Amino acid sequence: MAAVDEILQSLPIDQLAQQVGADPQEVQQAAQSALPALLGGLQANAQGGGAGSILEALGQHDNDLLSGGVDLGQVDQADGEKIASHIFGDNQDQVYSALGGSGAGGGLVKRLIPILAPIVLSYLANKVLKGGGLGGGTAAPAPGGTDNSAQGGPGSLDSMLQDVLGGALGGGTATQQQAPQQPQQSTGGSILDVLGGLLGGGRR
């Protein structure tokens, strides 16, 4: 899962552990559970008709937060809480509980996700809006150009978003899948299966 690995490598784990008051090894483990959950939640939303809202959010997080390693001082946790609420909706507590059952303390995951959520959006914004998606291809249009993204055709922002999220979670790209609404096989472990059951088609 390249996306999770890339983000983890950018995180100052020791500093993050000090910030949330936990052991660095526990934080590493919790982050390894929380990042696939955030990416999986975003994918469920994108496939459920919420791609336009996600692209709008990416336009607001088009920054270099991960450049040269994450500066935790630049992470807005209040913003992160809003992002998590939009991704998981009414199932937020159930997701945290499920993550806690996967070996990382639910309370620790709950403290980490508002920090990790803006970082994930910044990562996706860099991949999708700056033409760094898995498909490579042509440069993406400006974030304000949401009309084309809604079309979902090859080369659109919608398609690139699906490509990046699908690749991040071990699935194929949207252009490779004839039926992108079809649930993908998860390589991220049981937590993504749990997420699929909780989120269904995703929130719009």
Alpha helical stretches, state H, the chain:
2-10, 13-20, 24-45, 51-60, 77-88, 92-101, 106-128, 146-151, 157-168, 190-199
- Number of residues written out for the chain: 204
Mean pLDDT in the chain? 73
pLDDT, one tens digit per residue, over 148-171 is 434 444 457 777 777 777 776 665
The Cα 18–Cα 117 span in angstroms is 19
Q: For residue 139, is pLDDT > 70?
A: no
User: Is the per-residue pLDDT at 69 higher than 80?
Assistant: yes
Q: d(Cα 9, Cα 70) in Å, to the nearest integer?
A: 9
pLDDT band (50, 70, 90) for residue 111: very high
* pLDDT the model gives residue 196: 56
Rounded-to-integer distance, Cα 78 and Cα 118, Å: 10
Distance separating alpha carbons of residues 86 and 204, to the nearest angstrom: 9
Task: Give the span between the Cα atoms of 20 and 18, in whole angstroms.
Answer: 6
* 8 Å CB contact between 155 and 48: no
Question: In which band, very low, low, confident or very high, does the pLDDT at 33 lie, cut at 50, 70 and 90?
Answer: confident
69 Rama class: left (phi>0) / alpha (psi -120 to 50) / beta: left
Closest to 60 (Cα-Cα) out of 40, 31, 37, 80: 80
Instruction: State the average pLDDT over residues 118-132.
Output: 84
The pLDDT value recorded for residue 19 is 94
Model confidence, pTM = 0.73
> Distance (Å, rounded) from C-alpha 199 to C-alpha 204?
11
By the 8 A CB rule, do 38 and 78 touch? Answer: no
